[in-house]
Amino acid sequence: MAFPPPHIHNVTYSAVVIKGTIHNDDPHAEPMWMKPGSFWTQPKGESHITSAQGEENIALVAIDNGPYLVKPINEAFDSGERPVNVDASNVIWLDNTQSNWIQSNHNVEISFLWESGEDEGLFLKVPVGYEGTIESNGTVLHAVLISGKLNYEMPQTNEIKTLNEGSYFGATSRAFHKVNNKSDREVMLYIRTNGTILIE
């Protein structure tokens, strides 16, 4: 496997593996191939490499503000932040007895990944057969389907849209997102918000 040259970015980003296997770490680190559902953060200014293996690799990369630039390592600097790599097998899941964000007893699970100021990122695991509502009360909600297939009811028209891996829904004010999982496998969502959510 050939690795790209070490580099830095001018902004910190977080990322989630959607398909394939991806390695992101210090240039001298042993490869840690992260599979779908894995999560990492890359601090601005820190030298690193990112590589992928497999026929198709997809990752969601989220930044606070652009532009998102690639720069040489001779411009590296220490921002005080530290990178995080979390393999999917090490994600810690909470149910409705462990998080008051889950109001239902439908085996929905949540994992809190990061927090910065008012913003935070989390995973939401939706089991087969779930039908309910994700209520968001912040001014920002971005949700991306990481795995599985989910039915989403459009708020204005009540039209049902089938969301596949990589699909997105969001809101810029308090909203109720009606979803159901009629597929044969659980669904995982990555959510970024500046408020709380309630799963009912």
DSSP character string of 149-166: -EEEE-TTT--EEEE-TT
C-beta of residue 122 within 8 angstroms of C-beta of residue 195: no
**What is the H or E stretch that residue 53 is in?**
strand 49-63
The helix (run of H) or strand (run of E) holding residue 76 is: none
Tokens for 98?
């462990």
Homologous superfamily assigned to 92-199: Jelly Rolls (2.60.120.10)
Looking only at the bridges linking them, the beta strands covering 141-147 and 168-171 are antiparallel
Confidence band of 46 (pLDDT split at 50, 70, 90): very high
pTM reported for the whole predicted model: 0.91
Place of tokens 């309910």: 132
- What's the average model confidence in pLDDT over 159-184? 94
Report the alpha-carbon distance of residue 112 to residue 137 in Å, rounded: 17
Q: What is the mean pLDDT of residues 85-99?
A: 95
Please report the sign of the dihedral spanned by the C-alpha atoms of residue 75, residue 66, residue 170, residue 18.
negative
Q: Return the pLDDT at 2.
A: 55
Banded model confidence at residue 105, pLDDT cuts 50, 70, 90: confident
3-state secondary structure of 75: helix
Please state, rounded to an integer, the average pLDDT across all residues of the chain: 93
Q: Which residue has the tokens 């790599």?
A: 85
Each residue of 135-151: pLDDT tens digit? Answer: 999 999 999 999 999 99
pLDDT band for 116, please (50, 70, 90 cuts).
confident
Q: Hey, what's the torsion of the CAs at 123, 52, 87, 70, to 10 degrees?
A: -70
Give the residue among 66, 68, 77, 64 at the shortest CA–CA distance from 50. Answer: 68
Q: Give per-residue burial for 155-179: e unless 16+ CB within 10 Å, then b.
A: eeeeeeeebebeeebebeeebebbb
| Domain range annotation of the chain | 8-88, 92-199
